[in-house]
Amino acid sequence: MELVQEIAQAVSDLDNEKAESLVNDSLAEGVDAKLVLDGVMVGITQVGHRYETGEYYMLELMQAGVLGKKLIKEITPHLPKVEGVKPAKVVIGSTKGDNHDIGKNLIITQLQVSGYEVFDLGVDVPSITFVNKAKELEADIIGMSAFMSTTMSHFSEVINHLKDIGVRDQYKIIVGGGTTDTAFAESIGADGTATDAVEVVKLCHRLIAESEAVIA
Amino acid sequence: MISVLEFQRRSETGPVMEVNDFDMVVASTMKKLVKKYGITYNPEELVVDDETADKVFQATVEYLSTVGLYNVSTFRQIQFTKDEIEEIARDYRENPRTQVFGRGKEEITITPRTGKDSRPPVAMVGSTGPIQQEWHVQFTQSLADEPTNHGMGCSGGIKSVDGIEPKAGTVTELHCALWEQVALLEGLRRAGREGMHLGVLATVFTFGGVAAVLKNGLRDQRNTQLGIHLMAEQKLDYSRLLTAYFCEQNGFQPWTSATSMIGGLTGGPAGTAVGLLGCLVGQLAFGHGNLGSMVTQHLAGYAGTREAIWTYSAAARAAERNIGVPIGGIAGANHYLRGTPVTLYQQIATTIASTASGLAYLWSVGVTGLETRVAVDAMQGIAGMPRDKVNTLLNTIMAKIDGVMPGLKPTERYLEFPEFYDTKTVKPKPKFLATVKQATEDLAGMGVPYSSGLVID
């Protein structure tokens, strides 16, 4: 447990050198990779808390994302293979006409370090692309971001299309950005919205818990 | 000045960069620069001193020469040299810009202003949030009914027309936008202020839609600005360059609006002040506008705090002293506390700080006509007040806000115009009138010097 806390502290403090050294040394010494991963994940969670309390800003959240992804890449080959378990998949993008992407990009990083397989469709994404990619990749969650009222209206276009082809229930749909709030999300038939990247991860965890998908 | 065509060339030849990498460069550069220039947020001194303002400008020159802009259409960085940035600032300083909007008795002229100027800022009003069809005309009328309001900064955007929502890039965008323009003009007509400036086009965003609205004759050079604003942080696409070029060729004033969010990529108030100014200069570089507004709020969507007010002041004073372009800003508040005295306290605090920080025009946004009446009066009373006195007054107001905030619960939804105004008479509802009257008196008790016989009835 001491090792878990030590790795977590290094990640939480964004001490890249120490975190990488602890992870690599532990793996080389044959320490259980699950314990090492626990340390990284606890550290990432702590960064989220520090962001929520205003101690950290977006830069630190981004840096933690980059560090987390790097460490997880090191740890993954040492984890036992679990047959038949696939990570939850998220297809995400900014809707047609919308080029705003900071929030979306931050969410992608946070979801990736939290174990999701994320497919970034980019910005200015036609509604049909959300539908087709979600079908093609067998996504669990479709995430849509829009900053302007005229681009937010594409949310319902995607949702209605999914309904009309009879596959709405196969996906959890999250929307966000601009003036999107819970009341609006409910009114268009989305499954949820959140105010920042940390909250989006919590929302996805909750939605995935309601479905059969698994977070890696 | 750098031409718009040159911006296209740089968009096509600058370094290729992933957008995530650009965001990281922005955030890490800002953190270093805030430290290097020793820019410190001071919650007790909300109107910043000359030294802080100049540090913000110097950091901005280095920031912009390091990160430049990013074209999301080409995934390339648009780079500037320090000399180019300093040349842009010098050009504005040495050739002060003025801008005329409105017609007839509604004609207004916006010129550069400093914090020591006894002339108050031009009073702009409007809404950033969507407006419902049922009360669109009345909302516009309520703002135009206030004789001290000079024009609209932004007319808001229509939520839907007969159940049809405006969808970008489709026929409904234009359908709703055209309905909106007619409604806006009707609101002005009812208030007897037909020639009033209407600000930036809101509902219509695509270039084809903008062109159609202009061709229709409902909007023109005297009542309209076209958005060329960067996306946070420092990002543009070809539509911005296209609009800037169109403005230049057709005599339209671009809507140059800098945005940087506290808690976002630029970090806290110090970095966000630099981010705001960097965003502004970046737009002036290709838009060549006569005006520039600034918008900041916390990432969670609220404003009116000490951090937000200080950030405005630092960026505005840096612009006032080093660029001289007429600067505008938003006098905003926590909109999820609407209907409580705190929103007026916050709005007046922002108004006071902005007036003393050299803003040339001030946009009271997301508030009712009644509240703008109080804000404009306070603006007139505060213009020319020495900085130390303004800071003392601001500390008194902010202490009052700090005292009452813990007892307030934000509403779960944004309260709209009909909750405060009777849409038949277009007059404030009695309960709201009483709240504003009490808050106005509270503020007078804190030392807000209203300029004239302000009447709340």
Query: Does any CB of chain A come closer than 8 Å to the CB of residue B180?
Result: no
Residue B26 has pLDDT above 80, yes or no: yes
Residue A216 has pLDDT above 60, yes or no: no
Q: For residues B342-370, give the mean pLDDT.
A: 92
Q: For residues B116-121, give the mean pLDDT.
A: 96
Return the beta strands (E) in B79-121 as ranges.
99-101, 108-110
Q: Compare A86 and A57 and report the one with higher pLDDT.
A: A57
Same domain? For A94 and A200 the reply is yes
CATH number, residue A17: 1.10.1240.10
Query: In which band, very low, low, confident or very high, does the pLDDT at B408 lie, cut at 50, 70 and 90?
Result: confident
Instruction: Residue B235: list chain A partners with CB under 8 A.
Output: 99, 101
Spell out the domain ranges in chain B.
1-97+229-288
B130:A179 CB<8 A: yes
CB-nearest to A150 from B72, B173, B413 is B173
* CB neighbour list of residue A9: distance below 8 Å, 6 or more residues apart: A43
Whether A118 contacts A90, CB under 8 Å = yes
CB-nearest to B168 from A62, A96, A100 is A96
Residue B28 has pLDDT above 90, yes or no: yes
A168 is a domain residue: yes
A57:B267 CB<8 A: yes
Same domain? For A117 and A63 the reply is no
Query: In which band, very low, low, confident or very high, does the pLDDT at A1 lie, cut at 50, 70 and 90?
Result: low
The b-or-e profile of A29-62 (16+ CB within 10 A means b, else e) is: eebebeebbbbbbbbbbbbbebbeeeebbbbbbb
Whether the link from the prior residue into B51 is cis, omega within 30° of 0, is no
- pLDDT value at residue A71: 92
Same domain? For A15 and A69 the reply is yes
CATH number, residue A186: 3.40.50.280
Main-chain phi, psi angles of B341, to 5 degrees: -60, -25
Residues paired with residue B235 on neighbouring β-strands, in sequence order: B70, B231
Q: Compare B300 and A28 and report the one with higher pLDDT.
A: A28
Q: For residues B11-32, give the mean pLDDT.
A: 94
Q: Highest mean pLDDT range out of A50-59, A102-111, B288-297?
A: B288-297
Q: Which two tokens stand for residue A75?
A: 């740890």
Best of A14, A16, A56, A57 to disrupt the B interface (most B CBs within 10 Å) is A57
Q: Highest mean pLDDT range out of B215-229, B304-318, B358-372?
A: B304-318
Same domain? For A184 and A130 the reply is yes
Same domain? For A104 and A32 the reply is no
Whether B47 contacts B394, CB under 8 Å = yes
- pLDDT value at residue A212: 65
Q: Compare B20 and B10 and report the one with higher pLDDT.
A: B10
**For B262, nearest residue in chain A (alpha carbons):** A57
Of the candidates B40, B43, B39, B41, which has an alpha carbon nearest to the alpha carbon of residue B306?
B43
Helix (H, G, I), strand (E, B) or coil at B413: coil
Query: Does any CB of chain A come closer than 8 Å to the CB of residue B287?
Result: no
CB-nearest to B413 from A97, A98, A181 is A181
Q: For residues A119-146, give the mean pLDDT.
A: 94
Lowest mean pLDDT among B57-71, B103-117, B260-274, B328-342: B328-342
Residues paired with residue B328 on neighbouring β-strands, in sequence order: B293, B361
Number of separate helices (H) and strands (E) present in chain B: 14, 15
Query: Does any CB of chain A come closer than 8 Å to the CB of residue B72?
Result: yes
A40 is a domain residue: yes
Q: Highest mean pLDDT range out of A125-139, A173-187, B329-343?
A: A125-139
B437-455 pLDDT, tens per residue? Answer: 999 999 999 999 998 778 8
Q: For residues A127-152, give the mean pLDDT.
A: 92
- Measured N-to-C along each axis, helices A58-75 and A2-12 cross at an angle, to the nearest 10 degrees, of 140
- pLDDT value at residue B399: 96
| Dist CA B391 CA B396 (whole Å) | 9
Whether B202 contacts B219, CB under 8 Å = no
**For A51, nearest residue in chain B (alpha carbons):** B263
Q: For residues B404-426, give the mean pLDDT.
A: 87
B180-200 pLDDT, tens per residue? Answer: 999 999 999 999 999 999 998
Q: Which two tokens stand for residue B332?
A: 């905003």
What is the number of domains present in chain A? 2
Instruction: Residue A150: list chain B partners with CB under 8 A.
Output: 157, 166-168, 173, 203-205
A215 is a domain residue: no
Which of A23, A56, A78 finishes a domain? A78
Return the beta strands (E) in B239-367 as ranges.
253-255, 257-259, 292-295, 327-331, 361-365
Query: Does any CB of chain A come closer than 8 Å to the CB of residue B195?
Result: no
| Dist CA A81 CA A75 (whole Å) | 12
Whether B93 contacts B33, CB under 8 Å = no
- pLDDT value at residue A83: 66
Query: In which band, very low, low, confident or very high, does the pLDDT at B369 lie, cut at 50, 70 and 90?
Result: very high
| Dist CA A34 CA A40 (whole Å) | 10
B412:A102 CB<8 A: no
Query: Does any CB of chain A come closer than 8 Å to the CB of residue B411?
Result: no
Half-sphere exposure of B399 (CA within 13 A, CB side): 9
A166-192 pLDDT, tens per residue? Answer: 999 999 999 998 778 888 899 999 999
Same domain? For A112 and A206 the reply is yes
What's the gap in Å between the CA of A30 and the closest CA on chain B?
34
Same domain? For A61 and A98 the reply is no
Same domain? For A124 and A50 the reply is no
Same domain? For A113 and A67 the reply is no
Query: In which band, very low, low, confident or very high, does the pLDDT at B132 lie, cut at 50, 70 and 90?
Result: very high
B236-256 pLDDT, tens per residue? Answer: 999 999 999 999 999 999 999
Mean predicted lDDT score pLDDT of chain B = 93
* CB neighbour list of residue B234: distance below 8 Å, 6 or more residues apart: B22, B26, B67, B68, B69, B70, B278, B279, B282
Of the candidates A77, A95, A93, which has an alpha carbon nearest to the alpha carbon of residue A155?
A95
DSSP B290: S
B27:A62 CB<8 A: yes
Query: In which band, very low, low, confident or very high, does the pLDDT at B209 lie, cut at 50, 70 and 90?
Result: confident
Best of B30, B167, B230, B274 to disrupt the A interface (most A CBs within 10 Å) is B167
Query: Does any CB of chain A come closer than 8 Å to the CB of residue B129?
Result: yes
What's the gap in Å between the CA of B365 and the closest CA on chain A?
15
Supply the range of the domain harboring residue A99.
89-210
**For B174, nearest residue in chain A (alpha carbons):** A150
Helix (H, G, I), strand (E, B) or coil at B171: helix
Burial of B218 (0-12, 13-18, 19+ CB in 10 A): middle
- pLDDT value at residue B331: 80
- pLDDT value at residue A14: 93
- pLDDT value at residue A213: 62
Q: For residues A88-105, give the mean pLDDT.
A: 88
DSSP B424: T
Residue B389 has pLDDT above 60, yes or no: yes
Same domain? For A106 and A166 the reply is yes
- pLDDT value at residue B60: 98
The residue written with tokens 């479709």 in the block is A142
What's the gap in Å between the CA of A109 and the closest CA on chain B?
10
B19:A105 CB<8 A: yes
- pLDDT value at residue A214: 61
Same domain? For A24 and A125 the reply is no
Main-chain phi, psi angles of B258, to 5 degrees: -85, 135
Q: For residues B308-334, give the mean pLDDT.
A: 92
Lowest mean pLDDT among A147-151, A159-163, B131-135: A147-151
Same domain? For A34 and A120 the reply is no
CB-nearest to B232 from A102, A150, A195 is A102
Query: In which band, very low, low, confident or very high, does the pLDDT at B330 lie, cut at 50, 70 and 90?
Result: confident
| Dist CA B180 CA B183 (whole Å) | 5
Percent of the residues in chain B that have a pLDDT greater than 70, as a whole number: 99
Query: Does any CB of chain A come closer than 8 Å to the CB of residue B242?
Result: no
